[in-house]
Amino acid sequence: MGGFKKSLLIASALFFALAPGYATDEIIPVEAFSNLPNLSRPRLSPDGNQVAYFVDLQGRRALMIQPFDGEESQIIPSGENTNLTSFRWANNHTIVLQYGSTWKRFEFNTKTSETRVTAFNLKTREYTWLGQPKQSRTSNATIYTSQNERIVDMLPHDPKYILMQMDFELDGRSSVYKVNVKNGRKREIIQDRPGIQQWFTDQNSEVRLGLGYYDDEFRITFKNHKGNWESLNQVDWYKTYDIEGFTAQPNVIYVSGPSEHGTDGLYTLDLNSGKIIDTLFEHKDVDMSNIVTHPVTGVVIGVGYTTDFYRVKFFDKTMAKIQRSIAKVLKKDITTLTHAAKEQERYLFLSSSDQNPGTYYLYDRGLKALNVIAPVRAHIIPEQMGTVKMVNITARDSINIPSFLTFPAGKEDTKSLPAIILPHGGPFGVRDDAHWDYWAQFYASRGYIVLQPNFRGSGGYGRTHRYSGFNQWGGKMQDDLTDATKWLISEGYADPERICIVGGSYGGYASLMGLITEPDLYKCAISINGVTNLPRIKRDDKNNSIGGRNWIKRMGLDGVDDEQVSPYHRAQEIKVPVMLISAEDDTRVSYRQSGQMHTRLRELGKDSTYIKLDDGGHSLVTAKARHTLLTETEKFLQKHIGN
């Protein structure tokens, strides 16, 4: 990399200007945390002459398309009652957009989460709905708008078409269509099968894998190297390993499975023998998280994993060399290759850390030039953020609970701070790490120390850690949070009289259950879109969700009636103030759960505050919802555990 130079393009017609920060003695405004990122998920056009990325447009996500030659940029808004969730370049003048929304379906008589896929032509500025249904002339079946439209393959060698899956009969059986991105015309290439909701392709864009649920039975069908479809439910190797992708050889696949360390590694497996051929990646502490494919060819070039931060181990020597070179220049932060152009050697990198939400860079290998595109959050100054420390906490039964501790800026050595325990949602397979987190960093900016425990059930630390959380709602998963809280006290970090437990989704459930299982440990709790009534959500999932009959088997506590680990049914035992927040358009956990919990608490004479959000969904994806969340919880926390 001789002659490598670092050049900066900070303020120009192409890129954002860096915004000023705030004085070190000034309280950072809520908006700096609640606003959506200024720039996220950039992707280069195939020819490398344009970049598209998400921006914040009046509190909702929009897509900016910017040519490098200074030509006029274009912006695509989310639209009313919809949010852009992803996008792909089909070719140099067509972008395929995926939208998410919440609708009241008359077919189901309930609110549902929907996805729509649309093509946008940059030259004509016209939209084409790629999932628009068309009544068959030969079929008598009723044709509806598919609830979920999903891109299966972008067909990189055939840029006029993509593969999509849709379920026009709304019977839980998806078909795969080859769709023209210019006019939306489509042809069915894989017929639906009972219990198959998702289809996947190999490196040659051939559909080779289908999976889903039929009632409470998980089904997986696989097209073997002989061209025959077979069920993998009874295949011995599939009982141990999960399919991660396809190699160039039709009888060899990538799989993940248990290593000698108990964590999941990445391997190649021979379909003829069912045996492992080669070990590609193993880590003694954490699982592999995903395979990394070449942005142009789609060939597997590495594996992603998360210790404190997400990292990539490249198998491809060229990519590894490029990664090392950029990391050497950017030095202190974690540098990740995120995308590349197809027709010239231009690459996008993200450099981020615990204090830095990230800055995107464009690397032109031919020119040996590294240019700043823009920071992810222009108003966040890393030096003003809290630092994050990874800690290992030993639970009462000697299980290790990997956790992350966020300190208020400049208070790493301060003891007896007001503290927040922030359990993640999920709960199974989800995890927290050390990357900048708007929620934890906001509370740290207000003087709170924040602990995020990866309790059993969390992902990333081996199957034993993940599986040991099954059927431990209100049990060992809750005990882990209790033990983590007591560790925070014993280490002198937290003032035992000023601790609140706060969480969303499952984390909201755990926050409320924490008040019941440990009535003297927490001074308050906040639940956001949380499960409050366990029997009800199990009933709703069973009746209204594909696969619901299967996954509710992991909910609850072994040997205990559901009402015994349901906050609503044990509300009488809550002794401290509670705040409940829910979004009306949340289709995962009905806002009525929080509303009914609030009513129950008030009837019992408890201190309860309830806030209903107009939108934002389960994950609070709008700036308005996040602003309300942070503003209201800040006031609540200040009242009950603040200085």
Specify if 50 maps to a domain: no
Q: Which of 434, 475, 437, 435 is nearest to 455 (CA)?
A: 475
- 286, 399: one domain: no
Helix (H, G, I), strand (E, B) or coil at 323: helix
Could you give the CA distance from residue 528 to residue 581 in angstroms, rounded to a whole number?
Answer: 5
As for how many domains the chain has, the answer is 2
Specify if 604 maps to a domain: yes
Type of residue numbered 53? Y
Describe the strand order of the beta sheet including 346-352 as a list of residue ranges: 5-6, 369-375, 359-364, 346-352, 334-340
pLDDT of residue 389: 97
- 285, 408: one domain: no
Q: At how many degrees (to 10) do helices 623-641 and 438-445 cross?
A: 40
Q: 368: phi > 0 → left, psi -120 to 50 → alpha, else beta; which?
A: left
* Cβ atoms of residues 42 and 348 within 8 Å: yes
Type of residue numbered 11? A
Last residue of a domain, one of 290, 310, 344: 290
Q: Which of 205, 155, 215, 148 is nearest to 175 (CA)?
A: 148
- 406, 521: one domain: yes
Specify if 99 maps to a domain: no
Q: At how many degrees (to 10) do helices 506-517 and 476-490 cross?
A: 70
pLDDT of residue 384: 95
**DSSP 3-state helix, strand, coil percentages of the chain (rounded to 5)?**
20, 35, 45
Last residue of a domain, one of 290, 309, 339: 290
- 282, 395: one domain: no
Supply the DSSP string of 575-631, one letter for each residue: -S-EEEEEETT-SSS-HHHHHHHHHHHHHTT--EEEEEESS-TTTT-SHHHHHHHHH
pLDDT of residue 298: 77
* Cβ atoms of residues 532 and 509 within 8 Å: yes
- 432, 580: one domain: yes
Specify if 397 maps to a domain: yes
pLDDT of residue 215: 77
Supply the DSSP string of 285-307, one letter for each residue: SS-EEEEEE-TTT--EEEEEEES
Q: What is the CATH number of the domain that holds 479?
A: 3.40.50.1820
- 276, 400: one domain: no
Q: Write a three-state SS string for 233-251.
A: CCCCHHHCCEEEEECCCCC
* Cβ atoms of residues 201 and 163 within 8 Å: yes
Structural domain boundaries, residue 232: 227-290
The mean pLDDT values, 10 residues at a time, for the chain of 643 residues are: 30 39 71 94 94 91 90 87 90 93 70 87 94 67 76 91 90 91 93 89 90 85 86 88 89 93 95 92 96 82 95 92 91 89 92 95 92 93 96 96 96 94 95 96 97 97 96 97 98 97 97 97 97 92 74 90 96 97 90 96 97 92 94 97 85
Specify if 28 maps to a domain: no
Could you give the CA distance from residue 407 to residue 18 in angstroms, rounded to a whole number?
Answer: 26
Specify if 5 maps to a domain: no
Could you give the CA distance from residue 375 to residue 381 in angstroms, rounded to a whole number?
Answer: 10
Supply the DSSP string of 327-353, one letter for each residue: HHHHTTSEEEEEEE-SSS-EEEEEEE-
Q: Which of 444, 387, 452, 390 is nearest to 422 (CA)?
A: 452
Specify if 576 maps to a domain: yes
The length of the chain in residues reads 643
Last residue of a domain, one of 271, 290, 309: 290
Could you give the CA distance from residue 265 to residue 258 in angstroms, rounded to a whole number?
Answer: 6
- 269, 408: one domain: no
Supply the DSSP string of 87-133, one letter for each residue: EEEEETTEEEEEEEEEEEETTTTEEEEEEEEEEEETTTTEEEETT--
Strands 369-375 and 5-6: parallel
Specify if 53 maps to a domain: no
For 40-61, b/e burial (b = at least 16 CB within 10 A) is: bbbbbbbebbbbbbbbbbebbb
Could you give the CA distance from residue 484 to residue 393 in angstroms, rounded to a whole number?
Answer: 6
pLDDT of residue 146: 79
